[in-house]
Structure 1
Amino acid sequence: MVREPDIHICEVAARDGLQNLDVFVPTEAKCALIDAIAAAGVREIDAGSFVPPKVVPQFADVDVVMAHALSHQDKRIGALVPNFKGAERAIAAGVNSIYFVISASETHNRANVRRTVDEQVEAFRAVRAAIDARPAAERPQLMGAISTSFGCSLEGDISEAAVCNLARRFAEAGADEIGLADTVGYATPTLVRQIVSAVRCEVGPDVTLRLHLHDTLGAGLANAVAGLEAGIRRFDAAVSGLGGCPFAPGARGNIVTEDLVFMLERMGLSTGIDLDRLMQTREILARHIAAKHLTGHLHEAGIPKVLRRAA
């Protein structure tokens, strides 16, 4: 029997990692990236977003990429959706998870999905109803993702009350999981502990929480540790630190999956991920993406031999 890892990591490079690039990554490269991530032992992959190509051209091939990703039947394959139409496409594609995004920042929500927060909550309820109308075996998990949970480049500070209110509404509407996203990387360890604790109190102990962290100001891994201290055991991350939001000025990459895995394993926490194989994803990315977009301390320094022996 395979032991469950202590920490669950969802790899988001194929979606969040690519959405902000100014170059189209070929379909075959996206599929090769997903294959390499799966081969490294990652159990959940955010493989794309069902959005209009005119809004995010990078996902013009999402149907083909998603079909390929779903060939990895032992993995949980998910997709981000901004609205009910996107969710319909994701359900039809057969995804295992749907990540429905609403911003705690009203301004960012309008910029991101062209709707008010209230309108977006109603759309989420409609998605929940559409999923529940399907046979039980065909229902994808539905996560409510709260963007700008720790700050917004358009509004600045976001109140704890705004995040908790949206978390409560997600929970009441039937979210299987709630994700707290540091969309622009403004979080600090203190703020992470504060918001996670407040949301946990708001929604109760039975709702699963995860963190989606960016490293805009260099605090990404410190914030991950703060999340661990607050009880989080599920994290999003992107190989080579890819990522950013087209509708959040100044947003930079996600926390680096390779660095996160190394840190967690050195802390004695299992991830179930083969770090050496994960490091090989850099070769695929480097063929199509400028070096300035690829980050990661392990890629710069390597893994010291003495630490490999200690592991």
Structure 2
Amino acid sequence: MSLTTDLGLPMRVADPDLPARVRIYEVGPRDGLQAEPTAVPVEVKAEFVRRLIAAGLTSVELTSFVNPRRVPQLADARELVRIVDLDAGLRHPVLVPNARGLDDALAAGVSEVAVFSSVTESFSQANLGATRLDVAAAQAQVTKDALAAGVGVRGYLSMVFGDPWEGPVAVEEVVAAATAMAETGVGSISLGDTIGVATPGHVRNVIRALVAAGIPVDRLALHAHDTYGQALTNVYAALLEGVTEFDASAGGVGGCPFALSATGNLATEDLVWMLDGLGIDTGVDLSALVETSTWLAGHLGRPTVSRAANALALKN
């Protein structure tokens, strides 16, 4: 165990039992801004992406090719992809809900897409107006077509830890849904705590069940929401199980507009602060990231909800 420190940064206490490096999958431009009450100008979105990349984030989900009537905040998806420099050395996924979205994404020249499915029936109906099995079938077909086109695919699995309409979600249901998604060929599966009800023991139990079912831990990611203040604790629980990819949103912006009680995402700054303190490499410049979320907060007209960003901003 080693200790290092620096002014304005946490004391670093490296734990050899934890991963030495993790990937942060930044969802702010898509999952964050889709929940805004009004659309953010596309030029601001593009600058947001550029700043995130400059801060060291190598996986930045840009937008979603979704029906603009469903998510008007992302109606500028084609324009955003056009004006953002799609650096071949970085990941710039876009979310696609169906075959039409995939066609549009491929026409725009993206190299990676994200697809999604739900463990529960209620969320499938609320999100897409289709049954869980129909949504899963559509996801499987989109994944097949994307892979055939030479495009990478990441999977989101929603309502892994609880559903606002159905309540607790059985681990067996999660295993069945995740196994089915894994078999479609997605590169990784992001486990969505969509309404933020997970606790550490629950997280570890689900991950262990998935690994026991044959899904390697390096194909799992965690998408935590901080509704009950458990997001970082749940990340730590996942780290203990060997997970090395975590979704987060700069400034903690966003949530799910189709899920009751889904509040903001885990703030990227808070995640980086904790990981830095654990001696885990992320490649992210925390100061540059705080500047970015503060800049974004100015455009959104409200303060950032990231506690780390606010605390560090006070020191400057």
TM, length-normalised to structure 1: 0.91
2:61 equivalent in structure 1: 46
Looking at structure 2, the residues matched to 162 and 87 of structure 1 have their Cα atoms a distance apart, in angstroms, of: 27
Computed over aligned residues only, the root mean square deviation of the Cα atoms, in angstroms, reads 1.8
Q: 1:207 Cα shift?
A: 6.0
Judge conservation of contact 1:179–1:209 (CA < 8 Å) in 2: yes
1:200 to 2:211 alignment: yes
Preserved contact between residue 70 and residue 77 of structure 1 (Cα < 8 Å): no
Q: Secondary structure at the match of 1:258?
A: helix
SS in 2 for 1:98: strand
State the alpha-carbon separation in 1 of the partners of residues 289 and 80 from structure 2. 20
Structure 2 letter corresponding to 1:44: S
CA shift for structure 1 position 125: 2.3
Residue 68 of structure 1 corresponds to 83
**Separation in 2 of the partners of 1:283 and 1:296?**
10
280 and 125 in structure 1: CA distance in 2 versus 1, 3 angstrom threshold: same
Aligned to 1:309: none
Alpha-carbon distance change, 303 to 281 in structure 1, aligned in 2, over 3 angstroms: closer
Show the counterpart of 1:10: 25
Give the deviation of 1:303 after TM superposition: 7.7
Please name the residue that 1:158 is paired with. Answer: 169
**Does the 8 A contact of 2:252 with 2:266 survive in 1?**
yes
Give the aligned residue type for 2:106: I
Offset of residue 101 of structure 1: 1.0
- Check whether the contact 1:258–1:279 (CA below 8 A) recurs between aligned residues: yes
1:214 corresponding residue in structure 2:
225
For residues 128 and 301 of structure 1, what CA distance do their matches in structure 2 show? 42
280, 287, 310: which is aligned to 1:300?
A: 310
Give the % identical residues.
37
Residue of structure 2 equivalent to 1:264: 275
**Distance (whole Å) between structure 2 residues aligned to residue 238 and residue 206 of structure 1:** 23
Secondary structure of the corresponding residue to residue 99 of structure 1? strand
Q: For residue 284 of structure 1, what is the aligned residue in structure 2?
A: 295
- TM-score with structure 2 length normalisation? 0.89
CA distance, structure 2, for counterparts of residue 169 and residue 207 of structure 1: 17
Aligned to 2:115: 100
**Does 2:125 correspond to 1:110?**
yes
1:242 paired to 2:253 = yes
Return the alpha-carbon distance in structure 1 between the equivalents of residues 295 and 86 of structure 2. 20
1:131 maps to a residue whose letter is: A
Residue ranges of structure 2 left out of the alignment (5+ in a row): 1-18
C-alpha distance in structure 1 between counterparts of 2:313 and 2:234, whole Å: 22
Q: Is the 8 A contact 1:144 1:179 kept in 2?
A: yes
Tell me what 1:167 maps to: 178
Distance 1:114 1:70 in 2: 34
Cα deviations by residue, 1:239-289 (Å, 9 ceiling, x for unpaired): 110111111011111111011111101101000011111111123312321
> Residue 142 of structure 1: which of 139, 153, 164 is its match?
153
In 2, Cα distance between the equivalents of 1:181 and 1:95? 24
Equivalent in 226, 232, 243 of residue 243 of structure 2: 232
For 1:283 and 1:167, the matched residues in 2 are separated by 36
Equivalenced residue count is 297
**C-alpha displacement of 1:144:** 1.9
